[in-house]
Amino acid sequence: MTQGSGNGSWWRRASCRTDAWQAARADWKSDMERFKADQRTARETGVPVENPGPPPTGFSLLPWLLMGMGAFSNVFQAGTPQPWLGALGLLAFNSLYIYVVFRAFVKEKREARSTRVALVLMGVVTCALAIGYGGNWLYFFPLLGLATGAVTRGPWLGRTGLCLTALAVAVSAVRDGWDAVNIGYATFLSTMVTAAILSLSEAVRELRAAREELARRAVEKERLRFSRDLHDLLGHTLSVIVVKSEAARRLALRDMDAALAQITDIESVGRQALTEIREAVTGYREGSLSTELDRARSALEAASIEPVVRHSGPPLTADTETLLSWVVREAVTNAVRHSGASRCEITVEGTAERVRLRVVDDGRGVVGAVGAVSGAGSMGGVNAVGAVTGVGSMGSAGTGLKGLSERLAAAGGRLEAGPGPRGGFVVMAELPVEVLEREVAAVG
């Protein structure tokens, strides 16, 4: 009963392995057909093909077993001593060869102990057949070198190849004298060339996969950049339009000229928003800090918030102004929408090395919870990597300020936001001007 069960288990394992080989061969054939179709298309269109072809598998090394056809014919010749031993050795070598080369293309299996043991057994069988029969049986050494090169890749390849070559020369010299030089040369060549070709093929595929991964990450990064730009653009613009529309509605009954001025501003803001959105789509949008400060002053006045704007220091680079414009836009938008403040101060102070922007209002301050804002320090009890709580002045901090903090951090700066020491809310951004000129490309 036990023996029957063991035989059944062995038969199932053999059947499963055969099915796996058939499935692998079907996949390889489909990949090869797809590669040939791509090659035909490339020849017809003149566009080089990107597909490097199907990855090598054990099937690509099986045709080399034809080198053993001479030994196979010797088994059936009358003068061959003990042909049944030769047949068993031939069967053992071919079985071990197939086992090794099919495991050589999977890194985990290639480095497994069972694969190394099978390779050593191949060496023992090869030496036994070469010493016992000589002649055509010596060509199993190049086949052994091919399997060794497929399995052994890395720093041990050179020493392994030389040792195997020395073994092939020594055994062949015992049987065929000077013909051992040819056997040794074929063994060394098959070992090193096989390892080089397979390593190069694997490296090319890894580089191609890395390039595809980098391209995918670049697309994701660009999508994130565009989503941030679109949020900041539309959030600010729509808030200004809403505020000015409410002002126009209040003024329409008692001061038509003032209401028309607000409506004109709404038209101007809408036109400017269309221009900025087009520029954001093309990826070449640059913000002007002075223009943004003028817009902030106009938006604060329309919301009945007294604006106080101070701008001092040397001229800033275009990249520096772009990032600071985003901070002004986000801070003023949230102050208009959520603070309930009567006064908002915007201060820009620059030196030759650093520039600092502060937006301070006297609004309601911290009254609820919002998302996390990452920064490089802490201010007013708000930890740099902790959570900023408050809907008062900065109600959309969970979306806008978080994105801005990432932008400034990528440029070597920092963004801090939190309740002021005397109430209200404070947003402070600081950037290293010279560093930013070199690193702003990483911000997008």
Nearest of 151, 145, 213 to residue 185 by alpha carbon: 145
Strand ranges for 273-328 from DSSP E: 306-312
What pLDDT sits at residue 18? 65
**DSSP code of residue 56:** P
- The lowest-confidence range among 91-95, 177-181, 339-343 is 177-181
Distance CA 408, CA 290 (A): 19
Higher pLDDT, 268 or 443: 268
Distance CA 241, CA 234 (A): 10
- The C-alpha angle 130, 133, 135, rounded to 5 degrees, equals 80
What pLDDT sits at residue 122? 92
DSSP calls for 379-391:
BTTB-TTSEEE-S
Phi, psi of 345 (to 5 degrees): -110, 130
Amino acid identity of residue 98, one-letter, is: I
**DSSP code of residue 337:** I
Distance CA 198, CA 206 (A): 12
Q: Per residue in 53-81, pLDDT tens?
A: 566 777 788 888 888 888 888 778 777 77
Alpha carbon of 242 to those of 239, 253, 333, 401: distances in Å?
5, 18, 11, 21
What pLDDT sits at residue 141? 92
Q: Per residue in 270-313, pLDDT tens?
A: 888 777 777 666 555 555 788 888 888 888 988 888 888 888 77
Average pLDDT over residues 90-105: 90
Asked if residues 127 and 105 have their Cβ atoms less than 8 Å apart, the reply is no
Strand order in the sheet with 306-312: 306-312, 343-350, 354-361, 425-432, 414-419
Nearest of 296, 295, 325 to residue 229 by alpha carbon: 325
Average pLDDT over residues 375-394: 34
What pLDDT sits at residue 123? 92
Cα 28 → chain centroid? 27
How many CB atoms neighbour CB 411 within 10 A? 22
Tokens 């399997």: give the residue.
147
Strand ranges for 354-440 from DSSP E: 354-361, 369-372, 387-389, 414-419, 425-432
Q: Per residue in 217-232, pLDDT tens?
A: 876 777 777 777 777 7
- The lowest-confidence range among 87-91, 99-103, 387-391 is 387-391
Average pLDDT over residues 127-150: 88
Strands 414-419 and 425-432: antiparallel
What pLDDT sits at residue 373? 40
Q: Is 45 helix (H, G, I), strand (E, B) or coil?
A: helix
What pLDDT sits at residue 359? 92
Quote the mean pLDDT of the chain: 76
Asked if residues 344 and 332 have their Cβ atoms less than 8 Å apart, the reply is yes
Distance CA 419, CA 295 (A): 24
Nearest of 386, 387, 372, 379 to residue 418 by alpha carbon: 379
Distance CA 6, CA 331 (A): 76
Nearest of 63, 90, 94 to residue 75 by alpha carbon: 90
217 pairs with which residues across the strands? none
389 pairs with which residues across the strands? 369
What pLDDT sits at residue 369? 33
Tokens 């007013």: give the residue.
380
Distance CA 241, CA 247 (A): 10
**DSSP code of residue 82:** S
Distance CA 187, CA 179 (A): 13
The sign of the torsion formed by the CA atoms of 279, 280, 283, 288 equals positive
Q: Per residue in 141-165, pLDDT tens?
A: 999 999 999 998 878 888 888 999 9
